[in-house]
Structures are given as structure tokens and as C-alpha cells.
Chain A
């Protein structure tokens, strides 16, 4: 039985070592149904975890463990019925293990600078598909695929926060996702169909309105918990 409190502090600057440790953690946790079940059930009575659970257009997210100063949090990411080719990076590096379903995974190349620190504050206005950044000079069609694969159940990888990738998902797919701390103030997300882009910020930089927009109602949490049971994950 895995004890997440025993995991040492993860140094994400040593990418190779962080990958080795975090891959082992997600694989052991995925195999430990009892612990996974306890963590998922504990969310309902833990306001701090419950308020971090979020709903998005392409995925619903349960936060099942917060490692605090040890530099990691663990989530369960559920795909929704919407699936788009949206190249994006992350504010943090992470390890992902697919528990169910599959997705098309594309690594994109973009040779020009994406982040202008002078725009960090201004870009807080453009944080969803209804409020895209129309001032950006980033050329989305210029993002070219470097690598394409289909990630299936048991696929496991560690990815640096600088990588731009897209995951074109299938319904009712599920990943166990271990993330590091934020290493930049915002991340990009671009839609290749609409040619729009917007930005994602960490919790401390988000407006109250944005937080409310994403917050997962407890009824939805219970519904997702039910799916995990139906699928035999917990």
C-alpha cells in the first residue's frame, strides 16, 4: 500500500530524477485501489481539496492529494464529450498515466517567443474561449507537429512545462496526473479550428469570477466518483 506522505520532496530541476520518482508514484497509486478510493472519498470532507476540483470544457478534474512543500499534487483528469485540437503548454512539469481510454497526442513546434513578461498583467483579461487574446502576434497555423501518437491505457510520460502539445481525447478517458509547482505565471492554450488563443493562470492570479466559473459543484464530484466505481478504478 502506497503512503504518499512518504514521498520525498521532488526537485523538478532534475527532470530525469523527477520523472523516475513520479512515474513510480503514479504507477503504484494506480495499482493501489484501496488508497485511491480513500483519497477520492476524502475529497468530500476536505474543503481545501474540494475547492480545487474544477470543470472545464475538455476535462473535469478531481484533486486527490496535495503534497504541499514536497512540490507535487495529484489529480484525476476526466475527459468530457468535447474534443479539440488545442495546442497548449502548462505552467508546471508533470507526469501522466492513462488509466482508461485513449487520446491522440501531438507535440508541436513553435520557433518564436511566446511569453512577453510585459504582457503578464494585461493578459489576465484573456482567460477563456469567450475572451481570447486578439492582440497576440502568435501565429497558430505556424505551430507544426513534430511527433504524433495515440496514447492508450497504461501510457506514462513526464513532460516539461515548456512543451507545447495537444491531446485530442475520446469520451470517458481518465488520467492520473501528478503535477509540480508552477514555474511560470501563465500558460498558453490555442484552438486550431477557431485560430484563437487565451491564457491560463495559477489560482493566486485568477479573478474571483474565473474561480467561480470553474468551481466543481459537489454533485458533480459525486457523479465522477460514481464513474470511478463503475469503471473499477476505485
Chain B
């Protein structure tokens, strides 16, 4: 089955409601095995897409499509087995469809803003939930959440353009805080401790 990524409608990430509805349809169509296979194989021979793929401690990312001008960076996220609870926000808003496995997700409230001064006393979970395979959710870049996964969890993600320079993370077992920046601001890979 063919899927023409060049014909995707422009996304308005400022309207999360509308974007959620549009992305849900796109992700459902993209979840077709044959479509996904074609896109994954294409990435290997596309230097731009391949150059955007990443490996991290907790997950790896294969980029399938990059058109941030119209609101899309589409990637597959493969969670690694190492898991720990880390509350974080993002530089960008995004929509996720769980293809395989389960996300164990928490929402958090924080006193003030999540930044280098945040301690464990400032942050608390306000919703504890599960997202099984087939779930789709859209999340604003300012939302603070954590996601731990069951073994071999894979999700398909449409990321919007970056809305801020830094996304903060706080490790909930020891309170260590750090931030992530985008490639244009990154001077070295991985994280910096605050």
C-alpha cells in the first residue's frame, strides 16, 4: 500500500485539539505494516533521514519523514529495556501511536516551572495511567509527564517543530535534573548535568 507523505496537510500545533484529530488519522494509516516497512527501508538510503536517527540510553529513534515547515518529523521510537521514572517536558508538541507494548504514563504538577532549580519536593504525580498498543495521544510541549514501557515497546510519533530551546528532565528516584537541547544548540551528545 502506498502512502504519499508529500500530500500531508499542514499542521497547526497551536491548535492541539485539531492536530490530534488529524494526526490520529495519519498515524493509523502509517501503522500499516507494508507502509511502515517501505518507510523504514527508505531511511537507510536517505542520508538526510539517516542523519537524524538517534540512539539514547532509554530509546532509539528512526526518522521516517522530515518536513518541520509543515509540522512533521515522523519517527519510530524503540524503547530500550532500561527504565526509570523521569518526569520531563519536551521542546516540541507531538502525537504518539503505540504500535507494540505498553506505556506506563504519569502526569505531574510542578510548583512554578520545571527547571534546574526543581527538586523532588516541587513535583508530584497527578495522574497514573496506561497506554496499550493502539492508543494515540497528543501532548503539548509544556506538559510534564513520564513514560516507562513494557519490554519491546515501539511507538510511531509525529513531532512538531521546536517551541523552546531546552527541555528539562528530573529523575524521580534521586532528584537529579538536566536538560536537552536541539541539534542546532548541541555542542556534544548526551546530557548535561545542572
Contacts and interface: CB of A to CB of B under 8 A. Distances in A.
Interface string A157-168: 111101100000
B137 A19 contact: no
A149 B136 contact: yes
**Interface size of A as a range:** 20 to 34
Nearest to A18: B128
A157 B125 contact: no
Contacts of B142: 109, 146
A130 interface: no
Interface in B4-38: 16-17, 20, 24
Contacts of B124: 15, 160
A36 B50 CA distance: 54
B129 A160 contact: no
B101 interface: no
A145 B107 contact: no
Interface in B134-156: 134-140, 142-143, 145
Contacts of A15: 124-126, 128
Contact of A157 (B16, B130, B132, B143): B130
A189 B24 CA distance: 28
Interface residues of B, number: 25
A154 B131 CA distance: 10
Contact of A163 (B16, B126, B130): B126
Contact of A159 (B127, B135, B137): B127
B140 A149 contact: no
Interface string B67-107: 00000000000000000000000000000000000000001
Contacts of A160: 109, 124-127
A152 B130 CA distance: 11
A107 interface: yes
A16 B173 CA distance: 14
Q: What are the 9 A-B residue pairs with the smallest beta carbon separation, nearest first?
A: A157-B129, A149-B137, A160-B126, A146-B143, A19-B128, A148-B20, A145-B16, A148-B138, A158-B128
A interface, over-half SS: strand
A148 B126 contact: no
Contacts of A148: 16-17, 20, 137-139
B107 A163 contact: yes
B17 A145 contact: yes
Nearest to B24: A150
B129 to A, nearest CB: 4
A147 B136 contact: no
Interface in A3-47: 15-16, 19, 23
A157 B138 contact: no
Contacts of A107: 107, 127, 143
A138 interface: no
Contact of B132 (A16, A19, A154): A154
A58 interface: no
A72 B132 CA distance: 27
Contacts of A120: none
Contact of A145 (B109, B135, B140): B140
Nearest to B14: A144
A156 interface: yes
A144 B139 CA distance: 11
Nearest to B95: A148
Interface string A109-151: 1000000000000000000000000000000000011111110
